[in-house]
Amino acid sequence: GRCFSWEEALGCMTRVFDCTEEGRAFARDGRTASSRITHTLDLACAAFATARVAAGVPGQPAALARARMDRLAGNWANALDDATGLCVASGTYYEGTLWNYSFRPLPDMEGRIKRFAGCKQAQAGRPSLACAGSSSGDDSCDDLDKLGANEAAFLQHLDKFFGFSACGRYDARHTAPATQLPVVQYSESGQAEQWVEDVAASGMALHTFEGLCNEPDMETPFSYLYIGRADRLARVLHAIKSYSFAPGRGGVPGNIDSGAEASWYVWASVGLFPASGLPIYYIGVPSFRRVQLRLGSTGSRLCIETSGSGMYVLSGSLNEQPLHGRSWLYVAEAEAGGLLKLKLCTKPGSDWGSIYPPSWPSGGSCWADDVRRYGVD
């Protein structure tokens, strides 16, 4: 193979924060300019990843780089409004609104969800809507008792973004959520373009427009896993796969961006989804009975098999060992190969998703401690 130096790679990664105007502003001021406030989130995630690389490089310079990057990784909080828990309203947002950027999974999702402490719903102790749905499938409010005030507020806002109403049903103001808009054939020139503009405008006005917009909200559905709502994730994935993609021209919901949106569909159909910059895969709902993946430098194979029917996951096991509600895998677990079995069902209600994906606070321990908990080398 090719010669590779982690020391040189680390040097290139840290130079982003020293040799670019935006990187220097981020390091100096803790955030980027309002016109590019979303880059604060990007650079914070980059700093976290750089710190993880530095943790594996020996020597004092790498230790200093890790300490600095861990500190900068916490700057994601500077892109948020403490009063709302969402991204700041003063920012400029490309291909979407602040809602499209407010729910992307971050390394420290536990800390991210706590930032909803200042919003009115969290201060009241429960969401202001009648209820935010139930994993038991009866649209009751029982599950809110299992959530803290911050988690309940996060759930309410995330539900609003995806078009769920107070009780987990889709909003009655439109016959289908924004993710379920069909692909429509138009014969007259210009009709399709006008339809797309109208749909985008109305969707963003409702703050329920999940368009997989140029990547910032591609991972957003998986934020439901950080509050134990794998049932919500399943419904959103089903809607996007069923209605936002189609064969032929116009078969992607937006900017394919060199294959990024198409890759979203492939990963979502396989049933695993990589978390950007993190050593985990989220487990979704496979579209196939059996898929075999070749992963890692060793070429090991991971087979994903489903049984039963329905859009929800009832239970799962990896190499015959129950996952006990853990709806995610470490990359090392997947790359070791084996068999991932998922049992599907037509109604939610199991403990699937009850074990949240890990969060890594800025400056906290390396993920190696978490990996060891699951016996992964």
**What mean pLDDT do residues 82-104 have?**
88
* C-alpha to C-alpha distance for 125 and 68, rounded to whole angstroms: 36
Cα–Cα distances in Å, from 76 out to 87, 101, 155?
10, 12, 20
CB 340 within 8 A of CB 303: yes
Radius of gyration of the chain (CA): 21
Q: Where are the alpha helices (DSSP H) in the chain?
A: 6-15, 21-29, 38-55, 60-73, 98-101, 109-114, 120-124, 149-162, 191-206, 230-243, 260-270, 331-335, 368-373
Q: pTM score, two decimals?
A: 0.84
Are 48 and 360 contacting, i.e. CB atoms less than 8 angstroms apart?
yes
Which among 17-31, 94-108, 136-150, 185-199 has the top mean pLDDT? 17-31
| Percent residues over pLDDT 70 in the chain | 74
Angle at CA 33, nearest 5°, toward 119 and 43?
80
What is the C-alpha separation between 190 and 231, in angstroms, rounded?
Answer: 39
What average pLDDT does the structure give for the chain? Answer: 81
Predicted local distance difference test score (pLDDT) of residue 130:
36
Measured from the Cβ of residue 247, the count of other Cβ atoms closer than 10 Å reads 7
Gap between the Cα atoms of 163 and 169, Å rounded = 8
Give residue-wise pLDDT tens across range 301-313.
999 999 999 999 9
| pLDDT confidence of residue 350 | 86
List the single range of 138-147, 154-163, 242-251, 253-262 with lowest mean pLDDT: 138-147
| Average pLDDT value for residue range 36-53 | 93
For residues 104 and 97, give the distance between their C-alpha atoms in angstroms, rounded to a whole number: 13
For 307-359, the pLDDT digits (tens) are 999 999 999 999 999 999 999 999 999 999 999 999 999 999 889 999 999 99
Return the bridge partners of 292, or none: 303
Q: Quick count: other Cβ atoms within 10 Å of Cβ 92?
A: 11
Residue-level pLDDT at 140: 41
**Mean pLDDT within 134-141:** 42
Q: Which pair of tokens denotes residue 335?
A: 């790359």
DSSP string, 282-330: EE---SSSEEEEEETTTTEEEEEEEEE-SSEEEEEEETTEE-TTB-EEE
Look at residue 289 in the predicted model and tell me its pLDDT: 97
CA distance 308 to 286: 12
Gap between the Cα atoms of 284 and 266, Å rounded: 12
Position 206: which residue type?
A: L
3-state secondary structure of 339: strand
- How do 280-283 and 272-274 pair as beta strands? antiparallel
Q: Which residues pair with 170 in a beta bridge?
A: 164
Least confident of 198-202, 269-273, 351-355: 198-202
